[in-house]
Amino acid sequence: MKITGLTVWQKTLPLKKPYWLSGGRLKFEALDSTFVRIETSGGLVGWGEGCPWGETYLPAFGGGIRAALALLAPVLLGENPGDIERLNRAMDQALPGHPYAKAALDAALWDIAGKRAGAPLFELFGGAEGEGVAVNSSISTGTPEEMVALINAARAQGYRTHSAKVGGADIAADIARIEAIEAALPADEHVTYDVNRAWVPGVAIQVMQAVSGSARGWFEQPCETLDQCAVVAAQTTQPIMLDECLHTFGDHLEAWKRSAGQGCKIKPNRLGGLTKTRQVRDFCVAVGWQMHVEDVGGSVFADTAALHLALSTPVENRLASWLSHAHLVDDFAPDEGARNRGGMVRLDGQRPGIAVEPPEDWLGQPAATYR
């Protein structure tokens, strides 16, 4: 079997409502997603999606993904789609970096591999661990009362684990948000306070020490850099989840060596694909870290691809996964793929591969084709 062609689509995915994070520094209203279909001589096709969370969250943007795909497509044409590890190395040699473009292509290769095997992707990643993955809510920054109300609304949709966005220069406001959420949260629910890099180390230490007696949850990416997070970790008692400062396997190794956290978010688009994310996942399992396995953003396709990896991650190392598609206006495959069903995602009974495919009439005219 040979790769005979690649087709690329651009698709704008509006959010249901504007999304603020990092203490109100960053605002998002739509995602610029790129879908890729790899076609083969055997007739099988594989799908992938590259989707940053806007242009300001991390160093990636939709136009950059599509430009990188023009350089990466010739690397794959004519090759065996089953040579996934070798093709990842060939892409890295042809174009260093550009993880979101490679993530779309790598997902499409895995989609073909699953279809060839006649198996859902999670079986190729080691098999299901448990019956489903808990879903994480996403609670936008607001007043303490607003955030508690959003958590109550999420609970009505089945969510039992929550990601509450905090972080800003006003130390008292953040302490008030955390104390209000802790007071309102039932004992059997979990919360992560996601700072999205908004604190400098001195502020992080003050807030975390002030709530050390009451806050049960994780603190996520308190500061901009790995160095700064390591300073905070050395002077606070709560577990720290790392996210935006981790881009490569080496970043995770460095974070672990320096005890900069006890867990991390692993996201195929940020790390350059399912292949590289699985390597990171296996390392994190080996060192005893806990993980949220999910993607940076995108449609139900990106969510489902990441959830195959989440489902095959040991239960003791796996925290809840967030679903980007729940925040989008458009849904091309209602009820298919990774869906929140009473606070859990289940992938049993799925078709082979990633098992969600965007319809061409939903995608519109291709942005590029490579033959």
Name the minimum Å distance from CB 165 to Mg ion: 8
- Using rule CB under 5 A, residue 294 touches Mg ion: no
* Residue tagged active-site, from 11, 102, 165, 276: 165
Of the pair 39, 220, the CB lying nearest Mg ion is at: 220
Token pair of 280 as six digits: 């990171």
- Name the residue number minimizing CB distance to Mg ion: 243
Token pair of 149 as six digits: 């109300």
165 is catalytic: yes
Of the pair 83, 251, the CB lying nearest Mg ion is at: 251
Token pair of 328 as six digits: 């989008």
Using the Cα atoms of residue 349, residue 357, residue 34 and residue 3 in order, give the sign of their dihedral: positive
The contact mask relative to Mg ion for 241-260 (x = CB under 5 A, - = no) is --x-----------------
Integer Cα distance of 69 and 201 in angstroms: 38
The contact mask relative to Mg ion for 316-335 (x = CB under 5 A, - = no) is --------------------
Q: Which stretch binds Mg ion (CB under 5 A): 81-89, 192-200, 208-216, 342-350?
A: 192-200
267 is catalytic: yes
Residues 208 to 227 in contact with Mg ion, rule: CB under 5 A: 220
Name the minimum Å distance from CB 69 to Mg ion: 26
- Using rule CB under 5 A, residue 194 touches Mg ion: yes
Integer Cα distance of 356 and 320 in angstroms: 21
Residues 13 to 42 in contact with Mg ion, rule: CB under 5 A: none
Q: Identify whether the C-beta of residue 280 lies closer than 8 Å to the C-beta of residue 274.
A: no
Name the minimum Å distance from CB 39 to Mg ion: 35
Q: Which stretch binds Mg ion (CB under 5 A): 50-58, 59-67, 109-117, 240-248?
A: 240-248
Token pair of 245 as six digits: 């400062």
> 162 to each of 136, 203, 343, 344, how far by Cα in Å?
5, 23, 11, 13
Of the pair 39, 194, the CB lying nearest Mg ion is at: 194
Which has the closest alpha carbon to 102: 267, 269, 247? Answer: 269
Of the pair 240, 328, the CB lying nearest Mg ion is at: 240
> 29 to each of 19, 69, 198, how far by Cα in Å?
7, 25, 20
- Indicate the Cα dihedral angle 311, 120, 284, 324, nearest 10°: -60
* Residue tagged active-site, from 102, 115, 265, 267: 267
Task: Count residues binding Mg ion (CB under 5 A).
Answer: 3
Name the minimum Å distance from CB 197 to Mg ion: 9
Burial class (CB in 10 A: 0-12, 13-18, 19+), 66: buried
Residues 129 to 168 in contact with Mg ion, rule: CB under 5 A: none
Name the minimum Å distance from CB 91 to Mg ion: 26
Name the minimum Å distance from CB 324 to Mg ion: 12
Of the pair 72, 245, the CB lying nearest Mg ion is at: 245
Name the minimum Å distance from CB 49 to Mg ion: 19
Of the pair 174, 220, the CB lying nearest Mg ion is at: 220
Backbone angle region of 97, left / alpha / beta, with phi > 0 → left and psi within -120 to 50 → alpha: left
Beta-carbon count within 10 A of 29 CB: 10
Of the pair 32, 194, the CB lying nearest Mg ion is at: 194
- Indicate the Cα dihedral angle 337, 341, 343, 344, nearest 10°: -50
The H-or-E segment that residue 13 falls in is: strand 3-21
- Using rule CB under 5 A, residue 295 touches Mg ion: no
DSSP structure class, residue 325: G
List interacting residues with Mg ion (CB under 5 A): 194, 220, 243
Active-site residues, by number, are: 165, 267
